[in-house]
Amino acid sequence: MGYGNLRSGTGPTSYNTVSGSQNLHDATGIVAYNTAFGYKNGYSSSAAQNATLIGRENGMNSTDISSSTLIGWRNMYSTTGSATYNFVIGYGNLYYPTASMTQNVVMGFQNSYNSTDVDYTTMFGYRNGYNASNLDYSTLIGRENGYSSSSITYSIMSGLYNAKNVNSTITDSALFGRQNAMDGFDIQYSILSGLDNAKVSAYIRNSSLFGRDNAKNATEFQNSFASGYRNLYTTATDIDHTIAIGYENGNKPTVALNNTILLGYRQGYNIGSKGAAAYRLAIGMYQDDPLIYGEFDNKIVDLDGHLTVENGIQIEIGDEDEGRILYSSDNSGDAVWGQADNVGRITTTLSLWSDERQVLLAGTAYASYSAISFPPSNWTTSQQHDGDVLTLINRSGSTRELTGDIEGTSSTTVDVLDDDTIRLVYYAGGDYWIVLSNN
């Protein structure tokens, strides 16, 4: 029905329903089981079987449009490769592909207009993947997502201008929102959601960015995570193995913030501040004033406040270190580990029991002993004292004193006063000392 339909075809034609003008006009191959309505649909197709063509100049110069549905104007207009099992609605979609194009769903305006090879891909919107050379197993929804990419595979993009000017590879990635990685170069195995995240980053690999303007100017963003607003914003160098969550963390530093964790509000905000370097930890809610600060490379942790432990602390150490204690070694306040058979100094008033009158040391109650031998056999000469008073204190507060030489060469065995916890204490040089031994 119409004018010039199936007019000059050289191949066999059968079981076709055609209405309009010059549809399948010069088809050269097998033309069968097709439905065509409109103007010059499948005009010069080499082969067309089981196809539905509605509109104007759809599949006009395509090589093979079998088992495809084309609705609109100039969809798959000059496809030179195989273009089968496609569903296309709109204008100029898949216009110039020169290689294979199969099993795609495309709706909108000029999606994959100049693409070379498009397979197993879904596109909805305006000029998504417009100049992308290769699109496989991907979904693009919105406007000009992946516009100039050389290759988009196994990826999802939804929104506006995501990876628009990325002229390299986009693979196994998801981009949602607006202008994420817009001027980037290479995106692999990453998730970007929001606005202008990693907008100009050259390489984005194995990373996640959520929010706005995170790592916007980084040259590389790899193996990292950023969520919030303008985290790592100004850094114009590499960012690797870094976590930034919150508001403007690492905002102004231009140095590489590799292997760094910034959490909260403006941690590492200014150049030279705590956290504004590689291998740093900064957690806090006041600008450049972290509550917890650390240096991974130097194995330093700084707590800017008081630490309260509700249910006690258990320290896991080896059997060879059993009985080690943590104590202050000098007036600097630096804490060190010491063996339990050494002597520790008490610089405060002697008060070895709590309100329950149970003997405590560093918050730990010690078990009862049937007897204590003094001094320990492994004491060195520097730990021996002559003429000191040895005092035994039990839970009830009773004491017993031993006087005379306290040397490593002699041995004095003291029976406990009762079955409760005990300590051995002696007084020397105006200070109280605790003998930390149960030998």
- Higher-pLDDT residue of 338 and 293 is 293
Q: Band of the pLDDT at 25, cuts 50, 70, 90?
A: confident
The pLDDT value given to residue 217: 85
The pLDDT value given to residue 324: 56
The pLDDT value given to residue 302: 93
User: Which residue ranges make up each domain of the chain?
Assistant: 213-303, 328-435
Q: Band of the pLDDT at 332, cuts 50, 70, 90?
A: low
The pLDDT value given to residue 355: 26
Taking the C-alpha atoms of residue 197 and residue 210, their distance in angstroms, rounded to an integer, is: 7
- Higher-pLDDT residue of 33 and 79 is 33
The pLDDT value given to residue 35: 92
Q: How many distinct helices (H) and strands (E) make up the chain?
A: 0, 43
The pLDDT value given to residue 1: 72
Is the model's pLDDT at 352 over the cut of 60?
no
The pLDDT value given to residue 315: 58
The mean pLDDT value for 226-246 works out to 90
Q: In whole angstroms, how far apart are CA 21 and each of 41, 79, 169, 364, 380? A: 9, 21, 43, 97, 111
Taking the C-alpha atoms of residue 124 and residue 50, their distance in angstroms, rounded to an integer, is: 24
Token duo for residue 243:
């976590």
Cβ atoms of 229 and 241 within 8 Å: the answer is no
Q: Band of the pLDDT at 337, cuts 50, 70, 90?
A: low
State the DSSP code for 388: P
Is this structure's pTM higher than 0.75?
no
Taking the C-alpha atoms of residue 202 and residue 183, their distance in angstroms, rounded to an integer, is: 8
The pLDDT value given to residue 31: 84
The pLDDT value given to residue 300: 93
The mean pLDDT value for 124-142 works out to 94
Is the model's pLDDT at 214 over the cut of 60?
yes
Mean pLDDT computed over every residue of the chain: 76
* Angle 359-365-369 from CA coordinates, rounded to 5°: 80
Taking the C-alpha atoms of residue 54 and residue 52, their distance in angstroms, rounded to an integer, is: 7
The pLDDT value given to residue 405: 35
pLDDT tens sequence across 70-110: 999 999 888 877 889 999 999 999 888 777 789 999 999 99
The pLDDT value given to residue 236: 67
The pLDDT value given to residue 194: 96
Read off φ and ψ for residue 365, nearest 5 degrees: -85, 135
Q: Band of the pLDDT at 44, cuts 50, 70, 90?
A: confident
pLDDT tens sequence across 160-193: 999 998 888 899 999 999 999 998 888 999 999 9
Greatest mean pLDDT among 10-14, 336-340, 411-415 lies in 10-14
Token duo for residue 158:
């939804």
Read off φ and ψ for residue 182, nearest 5 degrees: -60, -45
The answer to which of 36-50, 185-199, 394-408 has the lowest mean pLDDT is: 394-408
The mean pLDDT value for 286-299 works out to 96
- Higher-pLDDT residue of 421 and 186 is 186
The answer to which of 277-286, 298-307, 389-398, 417-426 has the lowest mean pLDDT is: 417-426
State the DSSP code for 320: G
The pLDDT value given to residue 64: 86
* Angle 243-246-248 from CA coordinates, rounded to 5°: 95
The mean pLDDT value for 105-125 works out to 94
Q: Band of the pLDDT at 59, cuts 50, 70, 90?
A: confident
